[in-house]
């Protein structure tokens, strides 16, 4: 079946597609999340050094990975919107930002709650946690810039430029923070170091995929609202079943 991809690059057609796709991401996400947590809590053994507190990593690591992954995807969509002038790409970037920011927040929160019992302080200036904090700032800057610009096209393009500049900076920032951390003999939040039990890896991977599916589902739902808001004056929107009833 030849899929005409460009058909779905129009907001009007993507709106319907997104709506149909959401359940296919949402339910597997929930199921996989439950499965991952089951493995993590009931199959994976207690850790020798970190006792039961290590179980936080099943959430912390996926959240960190996803927050970075979403930022890159968001920047990618924004760049597409900037280069090809496709409104939908920019709308997707706009939809992804809050989800990414929330994952960054979860990463920081779980990192703090993991750090306190293990390393004694609510916040240790670990290189990864600090980079995560800066990533959160980058997300917030992106969202703030979009919110401050009234004209949607200018908002799209300005935030796209910001996201691209941010993406280029992320490796530089990460490297700088790592340097700063080792220079000041900071602590490194690490887990065991030695090989992780298979069940732990399985649990983390399951939760990672679950979070990824969740992120897709939520972003698709959010982009539907964004499409409606930005295409409010078009005929197809006004003829939608949900608007007519």
Q: Is 192 left (phi over 0), alpha (psi -120 to 50) or beta?
A: left
96 binds other proteins (CB under 8 A): no
65 binds other proteins (CB under 8 A): no
Q: Tell me how far CA of residue 211 lies from CA of 29, 149, 181, in angstroms.
A: 7, 31, 29
Tokens of 140: 């917030």
Kindly tell me which residue out of 39, 63, 73, 216 binds other proteins, with binding defined by CB under 8 A: 63
One residue of 21, 72, 134, 209 binding other proteins per CB under 8 A: 134
Q: Is 108 in the site for other proteins (CB under 8 A)?
A: no
The neighbour count for residue 191, using CB atoms within 10 Å, is: 18
| Tokens of residue 216, six digits | 């897709």
Q: Which of 74, 64, 95, 102 is nearest to 164 (CA)?
A: 74
Q: Which of residues 172-231 bind other proteins (CB under 8 A)?
A: 172-173, 175-177, 179-180, 183, 214, 218, 221-222, 224-225, 228-229
Residue 90 within binding range of other proteins, rule CB under 8 A: no
Q: Which of 44, 59, 75, 124 binds other proteins (CB under 8 A)?
A: 59
Sign of CA dihedral 220, 225, 228, 231: negative
Shortest spacing between CB 6 and other proteins, in angstroms: 25
Nearest-approach distance from CB 3 to other proteins, in angstroms: 27
User: How is 53-68 classified by DSSP, letter by letter?
Assistant: GGGGHHHHHHHHHHHH
Please report how close the Cβ of residue 1 comes to other proteins at its closest, in angstroms: 30
What CA–CA distance (Å, rounded) separates 237 from 243?
7
The interface with other proteins within residues 2-31 (CB under 8 A) comprises none
List the one residue from 125, 137, 205, 236 that touches other proteins (CB under 8 A). 137
Look at residues 108, 101, 105 and name the one whose alpha carbon lies nearest to residue 130.
108
List beta partners, residue 47.
Answer: 51
Residue 47's φ and ψ, nearest 5 degrees, are -80, 145
At closest approach, how far in Å is the CB of 108 from other proteins? 11
Residues interacting with other proteins, by CB under 8 A?
A: 37, 41-42, 46, 51-53, 55-56, 59-60, 63, 98-99, 102, 105-106, 109-110, 113-114, 116-117, 134, 137-138, 140-141, 144-145, 148-149, 154, 157-158, 161-162, 165-166, 169, 172-173, 175-177, 179-180, 183, 214, 218, 221-222, 224-225, 228-229, 232, 237-238, 242-244
């Amino acid at each position: 079946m030849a899929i005409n991809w460009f058909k779905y690059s129009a907001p009007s057609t993507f709106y319907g597609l997104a709506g149909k796709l959401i359940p296919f991401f949402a339910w597997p996400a929930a199921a996989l999340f439950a499965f991952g947590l089951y493995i993590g809590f009931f199959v994976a053994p207690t850790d020798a050094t970190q006792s039961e507190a290590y179980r936080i990593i099943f959430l912390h690591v996926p959240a960190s990975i996803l927050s970075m992954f979403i930022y890159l995807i968001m920047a990618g969509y924004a760049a597409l919107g900037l280069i090809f002038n496709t409104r939908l790409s920019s709308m997707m970037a706009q939809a992804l930002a809050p989800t990414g920011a929330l994952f960054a927040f979860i990463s920081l929160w779980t990192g703090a709650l993991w750090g306190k019992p293990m390393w004694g302080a609510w916040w240790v200036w670990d290189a990864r946690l600090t980079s995560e904090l800066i990533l959160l700032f980058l997300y917030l800057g992106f969202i703030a810039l979009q919110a401050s610009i009234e004209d949607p096209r200018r908002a799209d393009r300005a935030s796209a430029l910001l996201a691209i500049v941010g993406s280029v900076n992320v490796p530089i920032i990460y490297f700088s923070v790592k340097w700063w951390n080792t220079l000041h003999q900071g602590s490194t939040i690490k887990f065991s170091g030695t090989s992780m039990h298979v069940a732990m890896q399985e649990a983390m991977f399951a939760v990672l995929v679950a979070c990824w599916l969740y992120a897709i589902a939520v972003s698709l739902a959010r982009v539907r609202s964004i499409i409606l808001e930005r295409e409010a004056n078009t005929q197809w929107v006004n003829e939608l079943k949900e608007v007519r009833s």
